[in-house]
């Protein structure tokens, strides 16, 4: 079966499970769904698909929610307790050349503990995904868009969270002046965003934003033996922050979409992306975000990328997106409630019927390691649904040891590339420098003004025919606001509002730059 270079052997179906059920590589970029209740075999299905795609020279990305997928890096052994069962199943489904093997794996970890650190910049994340991550209201999202616009216009790189936090401080202190150009800016909304950023930072997201940012090319490695790299994201800890997890995967998918060129209809995918725990992406997602996912799913296949959603129920995926998932592996569903029964009927109705059995009954009855499958066939038509015994994995079932993982990380082609954090000059540092220069200029201007006022007082005092003594406060009030430029008025207002040294650094610096060029 493995010798076939244009398809992936998934398992055996039909009478006696002797009919090969195969995923054609030509249609592997038409996306797919792996669904089923907990403990029904979704992880093993994910594992054998990653193995087969790697053997076909296709790099893949997958998140390891439970830690089991690290076993892809080690070969299975005859000493494993399931060795006999694996051999028996392989013989039953006609998997004649089944053998144990290890696969090329690169481990990634947002926290840099169980894999190479993976990062992106605030600018690359963008306001839409960041708003989703922070769960912002429409008004708060508008302010975040203002921050990104100001950063773009003023050449202020937003690399990490402190860059964004610094810019938001300035926006909050100068809301009235900004409103003239960008619309009303609520200081309460700015404060709410800052609090959300603090929560995000406490969840460890500060490690995710920064440099060096992930180079997607490092996920596309093809080994000397022609096998594709399997990229495994350690997600066991990350799952404690589900919004961060879902937003990171969506960002990565968006980066693939925006970066890769059009390739038309390739003989096999360029890359396959497995989106585990997909329900986290859509739970409470605004329509704009769901529309974005639908657009990416529709268009990214022309770039040779296949996207496979892994979840418990097909109903977890919006219908418009579900309709684009041509290759399906449905493990057992449990129908304990009326809603469960409705979801079960809806799942069964999406398959091309097989006269040999009732699909709804089959979905309820299939055992562990068995599934109801349907793959695209000639001309992209959905194949007839089959009850399928999933083939056994060639790699180790279950996780590898921490020592084995560390050895693989240290020997990785990207070892050392992402481990050291870079902190080059960005918005935070640039605002600080501008603030220092503006503060110094303001002090010099104030000193000159005091000197002039002192000379004026001496002159007026020396005039015998004048009984009027011009004081400093009188001198200042004689200059009306109408005589000031907008920049001068804004500058003075800002200087008066400064309460701390930090506030001076943030406000004065950006002020001088923002209006100088205008």
Clarify whether residues 40 and 154 are in a common domain: no
Clarify whether residues 238 and 377 are in a common domain: yes
Residue 241 corresponds to which tokens in the numbers above?
């922050």
pLDDT of 463 reads 58
22 - beta bridge partners?
A: 9
pLDDT of 379 reads 87
Clarify whether residues 93 and 146 are in a common domain: no
Clarify whether residues 62 and 201 are in a common domain: no
- Which one of 154, 178, 207 terminates a domain? 207
Under 8 Å CB-to-CB from 83, ≥6 apart: which residues? Answer: 76, 77
- Establish how many alpha carbons lie within 13 A of residue 507's alpha carbon, considering only the half-sphere containing its beta carbon: 24
Clarify whether residues 270 and 177 are in a common domain: no
Number of domains in the chain: 2
Q: CA–CA separation, 47 vs 222, rounded Å?
A: 19
Clarify whether residues 341 and 253 are in a common domain: yes
pLDDT of 487 reads 46
Write phi, then psi, for 389 (nearest 5 degrees). -85, 120
pLDDT of 512 reads 38
CA nearest to 388, candidates 1, 53, 92: 92
DSSP 442-494: HHHHHHHHHHHHHHHHHHHHH-TT------HHHHHHTS-GGGS-HHHHHHHHH
Clarify whether residues 226 and 192 are in a common domain: no
Report if residue 268 sits inside a domain.
yes
Task: Divide the 518 residues of the chain into consecutive groups of 10 and give the mean pLDDT of each group.
Answer: 73 93 96 94 96 97 93 96 95 94 97 94 92 90 93 92 92 84 89 93 88 95 95 92 89 92 92 93 81 89 95 92 94 88 90 94 93 94 96 96 96 94 91 83 84 76 54 45 46 48 40 38
CA nearest to 394, candidates 62, 88, 86, 53: 86
- Which one of 145, 180, 207 terminates a domain? 207
- Which one of 390, 411, 432 terminates a domain? 411
Clarify whether residues 236 and 374 are in a common domain: yes
Report if residue 502 sits inside a domain.
no
DSSP state of 353: P
Clarify whether residues 354 and 374 are in a common domain: yes
pLDDT of 497 reads 47
Please give the residue range of the domain that contains residue 366. 7-118+220-411
Clarify whether residues 385 and 274 are in a common domain: yes
pTM: 0.82
pLDDT of 291 reads 86
């Amino acid at each position: 079966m493995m010798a076939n270079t244009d398809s992936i052997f998934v398992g055996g179906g039909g009478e006696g499970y002797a009919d090969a059920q195969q995923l054609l590589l030509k249609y592997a970029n038409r996306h797919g769904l792996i669904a089923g209740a907990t403990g029904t075999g979704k992880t093993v299905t994910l594992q054998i698909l990653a193995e087969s795609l790697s053997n076909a020279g296709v790099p893949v990305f997958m998140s390891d929610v439970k830690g089991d997928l690290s076993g892809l890096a080690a070969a299975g052994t005859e000493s494993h307790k399931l060795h006999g069962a694996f051999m028996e199943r392989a013989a039953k489904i006609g998997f004649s050349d089944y053998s144990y093997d290890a696969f090329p794996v690169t481990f990634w970890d947002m926290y840099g503990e169980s894999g190479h650190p993976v990062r992106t910049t605030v600018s690359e994340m963008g306001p839409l995904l960041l708003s989703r991550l922070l769960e912002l209201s429409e008004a708060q999202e508008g302010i975040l868009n203002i921050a990104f616009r100001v950063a773009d216009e003023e050449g202020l790189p937003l690399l990490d969270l402190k860059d964004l936090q610094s810019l938001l401080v300035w926006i909050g202190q100068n809301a009235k002046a900004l409103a003239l150009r960008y619309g009303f800016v609520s200081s309460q909304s700015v404060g709410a965003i800052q609090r959300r950023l603090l929560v995000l930072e406490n969840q460890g997201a500060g490690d995710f934003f920064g440099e060096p940012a992930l180079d997607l090319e490092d996920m596309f490695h093809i080994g000397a033996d022609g096998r594709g790299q399997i990229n495994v994201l350690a997600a066991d800890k990350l799952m404690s922050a589900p919004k961060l997890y879902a937003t990171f995967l969506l960002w990565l998918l968006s980066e693939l979409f925006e970066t890769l060129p059009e390739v038309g209809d390739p003989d096999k995918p360029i890359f396959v992306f497995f989106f585990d725990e997909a329900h986290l992406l859509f739970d409470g997602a605004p329509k704009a975000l769901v529309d974005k996912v639908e657009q990416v799913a529709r268009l990214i296949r022309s770039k040779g990328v296949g996207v496979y959603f892994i979840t418990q129920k097909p109903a977890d995926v919006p219908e418009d997106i579900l309709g684009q998932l041509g290759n399906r592996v449905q493990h057992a569903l449990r129908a304990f409630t009326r809603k469960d029964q409705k979801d079960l009927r809806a799942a069964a109705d999406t398959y091309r019927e097989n006269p040999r059995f009732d699909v709804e009954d089959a979905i309820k009855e299939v055992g562990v390691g068995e599934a109801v499958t349907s793959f695209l066939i000639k001309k992209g038509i959905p194949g007839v649904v089959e009850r399928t015994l999933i083939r056994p994995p060639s790699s180790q079932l279950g996780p590898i040891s921490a020592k084995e993982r560390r050895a693989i990380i240290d020997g990785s082609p990207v070892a050392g590339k992402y481990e050291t954090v870079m902190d080059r000059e960005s918005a935070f540092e640039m605002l600080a420098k501008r603030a220092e220069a503006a503060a110094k200029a303001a002090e010099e201007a104030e000193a000159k003004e005091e000197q002039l006022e002192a000379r004026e007082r001496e002159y007026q005092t020396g005039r015998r025919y004048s009984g009027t003594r011009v004081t400093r406060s009188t001198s200042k009030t004689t200059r009306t606001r109408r005589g000031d430029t907008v920049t001068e008025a804004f500058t003075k207002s800002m200087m008066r509002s400064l309460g701390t040294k930090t506030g001076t650094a943030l406000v004065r610096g950006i002020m001088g730059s923002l209006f100088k060029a205008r």
